Amino acid sequence: MSEAAAIHAQAPRPMEGIRVYNVKLGMWVFLLSEVMFFSGLIGAYIILRFANPEQWAAPGEVLNVPLTAFNTFMLICSSVTMVKAFAAIEHGDQAGLKKWLLATIVLGAAFVGIQIFEYIKLAEHGFVPVASQYAAGGGPLYGSTFYTMTGFHGAHVSIGVLCLIFTLVKALRGHYTEEYFSGVEIMGLYWHFVDLVWIILFTIVYLI
Amino acid sequence: MAHKKPNYYLVWLYLLILTIAEVAVAFVSGLPFQVLVFILLGLALWKAALVAMYYMHLRFEPPRLVLLVLAPIPLAILFAIVVVTMEVF
């Protein structure tokens, strides 16, 4: 191992004052900026919806709630597998890390796959983001706000899956150790945050 | 770092039960809309708090990081109140 690589593989030291290592603090600050991003979208949704109640159909009338409830379940499961991957490498369990990361990737990809299937089915029934082509229950604002919110979340999951594949490749090369696992930890923070956002969005978009 | 590991499967079970409860409340309870929204948002925030505390390990982080994360919450609540009461003013 070269000297640079040896330094790189050292456990990150907690910063003075806040007592969290800097990569983790950076991820938390990024996630807080994501809170603002989704708060803006949810705020716009509430205003548009209560100003135009006639544009919204009753929950379950247009959207397929059982399918999405199942998808929510898959995302919750992927959070467990992610946290198990982190718990594994914390104890230096390389095989466990790879196994649980792979499971998280499969569940995350399945979530995106089901969402695409859902979009196709909804579009077939005339539920589209384009106002002039909207033909389902409710009005065009329903379609455009739905696709904006779930679409941005789906993009976050997709990016998360790509980052997980990157993390798995590094894990397969033996990059992470019992002392050096910050990459897995901050990957987990992002992944759980995406799960957390979906918990809120599922309630607001599908159930209310 | 040196903390007792929470039971991740138990948290998963909690999340599953709360999700089923949400769908049940939304579709079979027949409660008035305002009560429904109140309960559903409560359940969603409960689930979100479980994920943040146990999966994101916020319960086991130094107090200053927790403070950093919790500081915007009152602002978010204020934001929600302003949006919801917009018609009143």
Residue A98 forms contact with B (CB below 8 Å): no
Give the residue, A132 or A112, on which the prediction is more confident. Answer: A112
Please state the rounded mean pLDDT for residues B62-83.
82
Question: In this complex, is the C-beta atom of A135 within 8 Å of any C-beta atom belonging to chain B?
Answer: no
CB contact under 8 A, A17 and B64: yes
**Count of A–B CB contacts within 8 Å?**
101
Q: Do A196 and B62 touch (CB under 8 A)?
A: no
Of B19, B45, B61, the CB nearest to A73: B19
Confidence of residue A1 (pLDDT cuts 50, 70, 90): very low
Mean pLDDT, chain B, rounded, equals 85
Confidence of residue A165 (pLDDT cuts 50, 70, 90): very high
Measured between beta carbons, the chain B residues lying within 8 angstroms of A36 are 72
B43: nearest CA partner in chain A: A203
Say whether pLDDT at A79 is over 70.
yes
Task: Report the gap between the CA of A156 and the closest CA in chain B (Å).
Answer: 17
Residues in chain A: 208
* Structure confidence at residue B88 (pLDDT): 55
- The answer to whether the Cβ–Cβ distance between B37 and A208 falls below 8 Å is yes
Question: pTM for this one?
Answer: 0.90
Ranges B5-9, B10-14, B74-78: which has the least confidence: B74-78
* DSSP conformation letters of B22-55: HHHHHHHS---HHHHHHHHHHHHHHHHHHIIIII
Residue B61 φ/ψ, nearest 5 degrees: -90, 160
Distance CA B52, CA B77 (A): 18
Q: Which residue of B has its CA nearest to A66?
A: B23
The arithmetic mean of pLDDT across residues A173-180, rounded, is 91
Compute the average pLDDT of residues A39-59: 88
Q: What is the C-alpha to C-alpha distance for residues A76 and A87, in angstroms, rounded to an integer?
A: 17
Nearest CB to A192; choose among B55, B68, B79: B55
Q: What is the pLDDT of residues B23-65, one digit of tens each?
A: 999 888 778 888 888 899 999 999 999 999 999 999 998 998 9
Inter-residue contact A81 to A100 (CB < 8 Å): yes
Q: Is A10 on the interface with B (CB under 8 A)?
A: no
Over residues A101-109, the mean pLDDT reads: 97
Q: Search chain A and give the residue with CA nearest B33.
A: A208
**What pLDDT sits at residue B89?**
53
Q: Does the beta-carbon distance from B69 to A76 stay under 8 Å?
A: no
Query: Mean pLDDT throughout A39-67?
Result: 89
Output the pLDDT for position B81.
74
Buried/exposed code over B60-89 (b: 16+ C-beta within 10 A; e: otherwise): ebeeebeebbeeeeeeeeebeeeeeeeeee
Q: Is the pLDDT of residue A6 over 60?
A: no
